[in-house]
Amino acid sequence: MALLIKGGRIITATDDYVADIYCEGETITRIDKSIDAASLKKNDVEVIDASGKYVFPGFIDPHVHIYLPFMGSFAIDDYESASKAALAGGTTTLIEMICPGPTDEPFAAFETWKSKAEGISAMDYTFHMSVVRFEAAVREQFKQIVDAGVASFKVFLAYKGALDLSDESLFAMMQMAKKLGVIVTAHCENAEAVDAMQKLLLAEGKTGPEWHGPSRPPAVEASGVNHICTFASLTGAHVYTVHTSCEDAVRQAEAARSRGVKVWIESVAPHLVLDETYAARPNFEGAKYVMSPPLREKKNQQVLWNGLASRSISTVGTDHAPFRFADQKVMGKDAFTKIPNGIATIQERVDLVHTYGVVPGKISLQAMVDSCSTKVAEIFGMYPKKGAIQVGSDADLVVYDPEFRGTFSQADSLSKVDYCAYEGWERRGRASVVTLRGEVQARDGKFVGTTGRGQFVAREPTHG
């Protein structure tokens, strides 16, 4: 069925205008001031009245975990639950982190992760390939993964002994990334410093979730950002600091950028709206809010919003890493170091950014679109197929009702996680209609589409 979206206020990363959008097959085929449904030489056209609403390009989440063996457990969502949740919230494409273990074969890991999504995902998806080992014997496999359409690597400077990479391997990997034109995304926390801090705190009997933050203070993250940027300046690789949480880390990246380092900064929704006091909630409830880098002092939130407004910070992701409270977070009852790290946010991201960023005037609608869609597509080689409202782009569109009033609640969540980190919070705005390549997949916060419709988005390297 073709789609005619009439009378909406089209918001892109740079524009704001009223027009009609016609989508035939999987793409946008016409954008005009007024398109008369009767004039279309097609019988099966669904007309969507978007008057009084915004029309956004489908949102893209640059940082998601779905299949994640981590900290003695597995993240609880699968592609069915995560993609339905994402679509209900207006996100039409995600980039998942492939996170193999230190002895896994990289190409086999790529195939495993792909198999979790193929035929199951309701939304489009692609991957960042984590490099947790880089000895000579496995290097060729990373070239094969890039040839297969994965044009970004991921490196963890944190998680000592599990996911972190030696500096020797990091350097060699970044040389290869530069040669292939593949951007390196990086979790920037100094693993040794975190490990030492954790041991000190536990030895002092400081075992609760409120000590997770003090074990990885801003200096630890700033040091990680400086480290990756130093390696970027030596190798010429392009880098992207994931879930950048605090002023110290942002300033390190900005300083490196001013020295000529090619560095992009990602923020994630939890750091924009939650602060360290959540992780200190009594009766172990703080465990729900344990993620890394940790939630920070509130003053950092304004720094992140300002960075988005000025576009020094490029993107807003979620770092969706869903672990149930009842039987997973609770694994860390006796030691915060055993609480699986992560906060589920894939369904709430767009509404959080609208409610707490756009409505109070911290960022513009254009900055919202840029950071939650367009810039993600540009940085990771999907633009203008994704992230744009243009003739020829995929018909991934979000008709968004800014007048909707409600609250965030676990009751509406399609993720399998057993709590909502934003329970009871005011919610202003909701996706009324969400289309993926020309088919309606969600309406009014509910999934109404086809599971398995999602496709792998193959990407080309973005720089020479």
Which residues are at the interface with ligand URP (CB under 6 A)? Answer: 65, 187, 243, 291-292, 319, 321, 341-342
Residue 151 CA to residue 458 CA, distance in Å, equals 8
Phi, psi of 321 (to 5 degrees): -140, 85
Residues paired with residue 231 on neighbouring β-strands, in sequence order: none
- The nearest distance, CB 445 to Zn ion, in angstroms, is 25
Q: Are 49 and 340 in contact (CB under 8 A)?
A: no
- The nearest distance, CB 444 to ligand URP, in angstroms, is 30
- The nearest distance, CB 90 to ligand URP, in angstroms, is 22
- The nearest distance, CB 60 to Zn ion, in angstroms, is 16
Helix, strand and coil content of the chain, in percent to the nearest 5, comes to 35, 25, 40
Please choose, from the candidates 170, 186, 304, 309, the residue with its C-alpha nearest in 3D space to the C-alpha of residue 248: 304
Residue 261 CA to residue 253 CA, distance in Å, equals 9
Report what 291 binds from ligand URP, Zn ion, none; CB cut-off 5-8 Å by kind.
ligand URP
Q: Reduce the DSSP state of residue 196 to 3 states and report it.
A: helix
Report what 332 binds from ligand URP, Zn ion, none; CB cut-off 5-8 Å by kind.
none
Closer of 47 and 280 to ligand URP (Cβ): 280
- Residue of minimal CB distance from ligand URP? 341
Report what 440 binds from Zn ion, ligand URP, none; CB cut-off 5-8 Å by kind.
none
Q: Reduce the DSSP state of residue 118 to 3 states and report it.
A: coil
Query: Is 255 buried (19+), middle (13-18) or exposed (0-12) by CB count in 10 A?
Result: middle
- The nearest distance, CB 11 to Zn ion, in angstroms, is 28
- The nearest distance, CB 309 to ligand URP, in angstroms, is 24
Token pair of 217, please?
């203070």
- The nearest distance, CB 271 to ligand URP, in angstroms, is 10
Residue 92 CA to residue 11 CA, distance in Å, equals 16
Under the rule (CB under 5 A), what is the footprint of Zn ion?
Answer: 187, 319
Report what 370 binds from Zn ion, ligand URP, none; CB cut-off 5-8 Å by kind.
none
Q: Reduce the DSSP state of residue 261 to 3 states and report it.
A: coil
Q: Are 220 and 250 in contact (CB under 8 A)?
A: no
- The nearest distance, CB 329 to Zn ion, in angstroms, is 16
Closer of 97 and 176 to Zn ion (Cβ): 97
How open is the CA angle 192-195-199, to the nearest 5 degrees? Answer: 140
Closer of 183 and 291 to ligand URP (Cβ): 291
Residues paired with residue 105 on neighbouring β-strands, in sequence order: none
- The nearest distance, CB 280 to ligand URP, in angstroms, is 17
Whether the CA torsion 226, 230, 233, 235 is positive or negative: it is negative
Residue 403 CA to residue 393 CA, distance in Å, equals 28
Q: Are 229 and 252 in contact (CB under 8 A)?
A: yes
Closer of 65 and 427 to ligand URP (Cβ): 65
Report what 437 binds from ligand URP, Zn ion, none; CB cut-off 5-8 Å by kind.
none
- Residue of minimal CB distance from Zn ion? 187
Residue type, 363: I
Closer of 319 and 348 to ligand URP (Cβ): 319
Report what 345 binds from ligand URP, Zn ion, none; CB cut-off 5-8 Å by kind.
none
Q: Are 150 and 129 in contact (CB under 8 A)?
A: yes
Report what 92 binds from Zn ion, ligand URP, none; CB cut-off 5-8 Å by kind.
none
Closer of 93 and 345 to ligand URP (Cβ): 345
Residue type, 156: F
Closer of 198 and 292 to ligand URP (Cβ): 292
Report what 315 binds from Zn ion, ligand URP, none; CB cut-off 5-8 Å by kind.
none
Closer of 15 and 192 to ligand URP (Cβ): 192
Report what 341 binds from Zn ion, ligand URP, none; CB cut-off 5-8 Å by kind.
ligand URP
Residue 118 CA to residue 224 CA, distance in Å, equals 34
Closer of 246 and 358 to ligand URP (Cβ): 246
Closer of 8 and 340 to ligand URP (Cβ): 340
Q: DSSP assignment, residue 357?
A: I
Q: Are 89 and 412 in contact (CB under 8 A)?
A: no
Token pair of 175, please?
């040389």
Report what 429 binds from Zn ion, ligand URP, none; CB cut-off 5-8 Å by kind.
none
Closer of 50 and 131 to Zn ion (Cβ): 131
Q: How far apart are the first and last CA of the chain?
A: 40
Report what 84 binds from Zn ion, ligand URP, none; CB cut-off 5-8 Å by kind.
none
- The nearest distance, CB 3 to Zn ion, in angstroms, is 34
- The nearest distance, CB 294 to ligand URP, in angstroms, is 8
Residue carrying the six token digits 């994630």: 268
Q: Are 437 and 452 in contact (CB under 8 A)?
A: no
